[in-house]
């Protein structure tokens, strides 16, 4: 009996140490997870907020669209760090287009939750088709894009065309595979605004309207997002002392 005591004590000591280590690792995990959650939940601000995007662009005049509480909460759950939703009207050409820009940097892969194929069906639209296409911007930039067509069933009988493309760390892409992998889903712990995915959606009832708006506005939109070198050209128009930077 006496000779067995040291072995029994060592066994109990090993069990106690294992339990202590288990509890400690659980505490550490919760602390780290809580910290990561706070980091990811805190929006990463662009040098110039998207709300400063011009209301007036050539013959287009824009008015902000109201974002409902439910939609805003959905956007926050999908890591929208900044966004713009605005209707532009050209009275001269008798056309209009809604411009929606969403910027995801705290978790770049969150942009997948803002795709037209996700958002519009969630609001009762039927996704009829999507096709790859291109357009030429005012500056002569060839932009790959996706053209989506949606409709609402009876009794609404509405139709809408949605042109969309993405900007991945300053590079335009229409390929969602570029950011849908593990790297895109990883949180931006460095809080670098130049690591991001942004989406541009331009919608209207006529394809000609969305293509015209895309050609006229894309170059200006890119000025508000970090380019491949991390520079935001719009920052020169809105210096820090003006209060535009946050």
Q: pLDDT tens across 38-63, in order?
A: 445 688 999 999 999 999 999 999 99
HEC profile of the chain: CCCHHHHHHHHHHHHHHHHHHHHHHHHHHHHHHHHHHHHHHCCCCCCCCHHHCCCEECCEEEEECCCCHHHHHHHHHCCCCEEEEEEEEECCCCEEEEEEEEEECCCHHHHHHHCHHHHHHHCCCEEEEEEEEEEECCCCCEEEEEEEEEECCCCCCCEEEEEEEEEECCEEECCHHHCCCHHHHCCCCCCCCCCCEEEEEEEECCHHHHHHHHHHHHHHHHHCCCCCCCCCHHHHCCCHHHCCCC
Tokens of 199: 């989406």
d(CA 204, CA 217): 15
d(CA 186, CA 182): 6
Same domain, 22 and 131: no
- Residue 31 belongs to what domain range? 1-41
Same domain, 212 and 127: yes
Same domain, 9 and 51: no
Same domain, 66 and 170: yes
Same domain, 20 and 127: no
Same domain, 48 and 37: no
Same domain, 192 and 180: yes
d(CA 105, CA 201): 18
pLDDT by residue, tens only, the chain of 246 residues: 455 556 666 666 666 666 666 665 544 434 343 444 544 568 899 999 999 999 999 999 999 998 877 677 767 766 789 999 999 999 999 999 999 999 999 988 778 877 898 889 988 899 999 999 999 999 999 999 999 999 998 887 899 999 999 999 999 999 988 887 765 667 888 899 999 999 999 999 999 999 999 999 999 999 999 999 999 999 998 865 334 333
The total number of structural domains that make up the chain: 2
Quickly tell me which residue has 């128009």 as its tokens. Answer: 237
Same domain, 153 and 77: yes
Same domain, 9 and 115: no
Same domain, 200 and 235: yes
Same domain, 6 and 78: no
Same domain, 193 and 205: yes
């Amino acid at each position: 009996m006496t000779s067995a005591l040291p072995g029994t004590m060592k066994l109990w000591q090993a069990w106690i140490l294992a339990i202590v280590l288990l509890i400690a690792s659980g505490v550490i995990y919760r602390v780290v997870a809580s910290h990561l959650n706070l980091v990811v939940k805190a929006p990463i601000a662009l040098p110039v907020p998207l709300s400063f995007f011009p209301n007036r662009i050539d013959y287009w005049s824009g008015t902000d669209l109201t974002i409902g509480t439910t939609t805003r909460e959905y956007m926050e759950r999908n890591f929208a760090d900044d966004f713009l939703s605005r209707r532009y009207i050209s009275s001269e050409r008798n056309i209009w287009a809604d411009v929606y820009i969403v910027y995801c940097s705290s978790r770049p892969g969150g942009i997948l939750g803002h795709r037209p194929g996700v958002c519009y069906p969630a609001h009762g639209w039927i996704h009829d088709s999507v096709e790859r296409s291109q357009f030429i911007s005012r500056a002569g930039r060839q932009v790959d894009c996706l053209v989506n067509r949606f409709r609402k069933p009876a009794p609404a009988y509405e139709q809408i065309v949605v042109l969309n493309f993405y900007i991945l760390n300053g590079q335009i892409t229409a390929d969602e595979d570029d950011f849908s992998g593990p790297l895109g889903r990883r949180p931006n712990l460095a809080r670098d605004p130049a690591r991001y995915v942004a989406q541009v959606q331009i919608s209207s009832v006529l394809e000609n309207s969305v293509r015209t708006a895309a050609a006229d506005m894309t170059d200006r939109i890119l000025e508000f997002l970090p380019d491949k070198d991390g520079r935001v050209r719009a920052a020169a128009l809105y210096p820090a002392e003006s209060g535009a930077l946050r």
